Chain A
Amino acid sequence: MAKKELTLNEAFTSVEEIMEKLRDDEISLEDSFKLYKEGMDMLKVCSEKIDKVEKQVKMLDEDGEVSDFQTGTGE
């Protein structure tokens, strides 16, 4: 968690900050486009953060080995 990589929430916040800058009516059109591209790139990062693959539940054993966990074992 201590990595410098942005979390999804930080990425979202960063897009919101970009939006805030875009809201400034004094901004030049060039900067406006630059920020827009930045925002869209950041949204792409957001989308990539959500690794859109359905995942099986895994089980971690005492040796630190991971295996598939059979769900539905019940009580």
Chain B
Amino acid sequence: MNKVYAVGQINQYIKNLLAQETILHSVSVKGEVSNVKYHSSGHIYFTMKDNTGTLSCVMFASARSGLKFTMREGMGIIATGRIEVYMRDGKYQLYAEKIVQDGAGDLYARYLELKDKLEEMGMFDQSYKKDIPYYSRTIGIVTAATGAAVQDIIQIAHRRNPYVQLILCPAQVQGDGAAQSIVDGIEALDRYGVDVIIVGRGGGSIEDLWAFNEEIVARAIFACNTPIVSAVGHETDFTIADFVADKRASTPSAAAELTVVPYADLEKRMQDLAVSLFDRVDHNIRMEKNRLHQTVTRLQALSPGARIREKKMHYVNLLDQLQQVMQGNLMQNKHRLQMRITELEALSPLTRLQGGYVHATAKGKPLTKVSQVSAGDEIRLRLADGTVQTRVENTEKEKIAKIR
């Protein structure tokens, strides 16, 4: 029996064997890119192939400066690096340090050639693009009847608005005759009359999507009278159909979102419009009412009643003022009177009685004439410090009355 080795031992043995081949330390390999995956770590995993076979390749993030373009399916490249055994998977692979484009891979070259040609003819021109209707009642779909794409579209369309009519025109989307089948589908739906057409399929390799890069498909899309939304593969896949279509959706699901307005949105928009219409009219009515009110107020201000009231107010005001002025005058005069009294008192005759003069009164009158009294009459004599009551003895004209 032969010697028995562990897997690790035999892999290590083969690894060493290859490592001795100096030619494999730096080798350039030519082929078409397939299954390229840009990993989030920065590493790129891909396969190179030609019609005889495939070669696993990896380009580490650390070597990324050796790649100046984005690798796509079907591109022809020349990758330079070392070939080593990857022991975990028991396979050898190319650790690429530098990748350059080899002219262009076969399919990719055809793609670019057709793209340039159609672009030159103006088929991608923005001016030919039809608007996708805001609201489509009937939506045509050209895709495989059994694919995931149609299910995605139906599901999303139905969820957004179940009242939209979907019409599927089943088409073969890959393999021989696919392009013609897609063209027939587009033409059939255009004849039938729908508001918008979705043309597409789910993701796949460049070969799988190839029908959407065929010139007859591009021409059918361009000639179609109905707006067309293309929905081929994934976000990163760009086909000729995408460039010609009136609108490109990144995926079939996105196409459904682009073409079907959610019913709730429509309903809300209608309600909002109805509410603002009402608000607006309500506002106008209130404005007119306000205007009416203002006019009434202005008119009332001009009525005779108001004028009379105004005059009355004026009258009352004047009266008030007059009374105030009168009151002021009165006070002032009273004050003046008081002052006069004081002055007058200072000049009172009593002050003169100091020097022996008296003021005589008889029967309440000043005694100025002899004839005013006769014997026995009472006479009052006012002196400076009091009064003397006396009686007339006799009277004698031109003689001073004798006082007893």
Q: Do A and B come from one complex?
A: yes
Q: Identify the A interface with B (CB < 8 A).
A: 1, 7-9, 12, 15-16, 18-19, 22-23, 25, 27, 29, 32-33, 35-36, 39-40, 43, 46-47, 49-55, 57-60, 62, 64, 66, 69, 71-75
User: Is A22 in contact with B277, judged by CB distance below 8 angstroms?
Assistant: yes
Contact of B137 among A29, A32, A51, A71 (CB under 8 A): A51
Query: Could you write out 8 A-B pairs with CB less than 8 Å apart?
Result: A1-B226, A12-B273, A43-B277, A55-B162, A59-B145, A60-B140, A60-B188, A64-B191
Residues of chain A within 8 A (CB-CB) of B285 are: 29, 32
Q: In the complex, how many angstroms separate the beta carbon of B121 from the nearest chain A beta carbon?
A: 25
Which one of B36-44, B63-71, B78-86, B146-154 is at the interface? B146-154
User: Is B288 in contact with A29, judged by CB distance below 8 angstroms?
Assistant: yes
Residues of chain A within 8 A (CB-CB) of B188 are: 60, 62, 64
User: Is A22 in contact with B284, judged by CB distance below 8 angstroms?
Assistant: yes
A-B contact count (CB 8 A): 113
The interface size of chain B toward A, counting residues with CB under 8 Å, comes to: 43
User: Is A59 in contact with B168, judged by CB distance below 8 angstroms?
Assistant: yes
Q: Identify the B interface with A (CB < 8 A).
A: 133-135, 137, 140, 145-148, 151, 154, 162-170, 184, 188-189, 191-192, 195, 225-226, 263, 266, 269-270, 273-274, 276-278, 280-281, 284-285, 287-288
CB contact under 8 A between A71 and B189, given known A12-B269, A36-B281:
no
Q: In the complex, how many angstroms separate the beta carbon of B331 from the nearest chain A beta carbon?
A: 62
Q: In the complex, how many angstroms separate the beta carbon of A37 from the nearest chain B beta carbon?
A: 10
Residues of chain B within 8 A (CB-CB) of A16 are: 273
- 8 closest A-B pairs by CB: A9-B134, A8-B135, A22-B280, A32-B284, A39-B277, A36-B281, A57-B166, A55-B165
A1-B133, A57-B167 are known; give 9 further A-B pairs, CB within 8 A: A12-B134, A12-B269, A18-B277, A35-B281, A43-B273, A46-B270, A55-B164, A59-B170, A73-B145
